[in-house]
Amino acid sequence: MKPLLVLSRAIDWLNERVGRSVKWLILVMVLVSAGNATSRFLLDRASNAWLELQWYLFSAVFLLCAGYTLLHNEHIRIDVVNSHLSRRTQVWIDVFGIIVFLFPMATIIMWLSWPVFVNAFVSGEVSANAGGLIRWPARLMVPVGFFLLVLQGVSELIKRIAFLMGLIPDPAEKHTDPAIEQLQVEADEAK
């Protein structure tokens, strides 16, 4: 199990780095949106490329941060029934969900989206809108995003099995960022 836990930490590291990097695209998206709106209203100049860039950036954040979201246990859950069960039962439900739902869904989407990307890349597909962008970067985000999600699913499965074996603490517990904890301590001291 130790080599699998090392693999899990490597996957966690990868998705942590991707998530922390990609979330900066939100700022870029806001700046592009503000610049486009300013250009359109003040200068009466607009470009479809800027609008398409906004949805490319949104897609990148949404797709490439899916693994990051799973890593931090921030994905959407319906805990009406689950919250009344023991922690071990909840972990077994997670294991079942990862194997039966996450892996097949993400693998199928990754598999089906790859030829769409390849076709767009080979054909040089460009948006039908005047001044539109090339499409293959947006098409590539789908298989890459779901690949990162599958990888994180592997990591979460390893951690949950290790927890059930008593080898590690509960992987779903919220762990706060030390930097945030330090800011909270400083805020409390300032009061």
Over the stretch 9-35, which tens digit does the pLDDT of each residue have?
899 999 999 999 998 999 999 998 888
CA 74 distance to own-chain centroid = 10
Over the stretch 106-143, which tens digit does the pLDDT of each residue have?
999 999 999 999 999 999 888 877 777 888 998 999 99
- Residues near 152 by Cβ (< 8 Å), separated by ≥ 6? 11, 12, 15, 66, 67, 68, 70, 71
Residue 81 burial (10 A CB sphere; 0-12, 13-18, 19+):
exposed
* CB 26 within 8 Å of CB 59: no
Over the stretch 70-103, which tens digit does the pLDDT of each residue have?
998 887 777 777 778 888 888 898 899 999 999 9
| pLDDT of res. 183 | 57
- Higher pLDDT pick, 189 / 58: 58
- Residues near 178 by Cβ (< 8 Å), separated by ≥ 6? none
3-class DSSP state of 137: helix
| pLDDT of res. 90 | 84
| pLDDT of res. 125 | 83
* CB 94 within 8 Å of CB 161: no
CA-closest candidate to residue 9, choices 168, 189, 165: 168
| pLDDT of res. 35 | 86
Q: What global pTM score does this model have? A: 0.80
CA distance 189 to 183: 10
pLDDT higher than threshold 70 for residue 185: no
Query: b vs e for 83-101, b when ≥16 Cβ sit within 10 Å of the residue's Cβ?
Result: eeeeeeebbeebbeebeee
Q: Residues 100, 115, 61, 157: what is their CA dihedral angle, to the nearest 10 degrees?
A: 20
3-class DSSP state of 165: coil
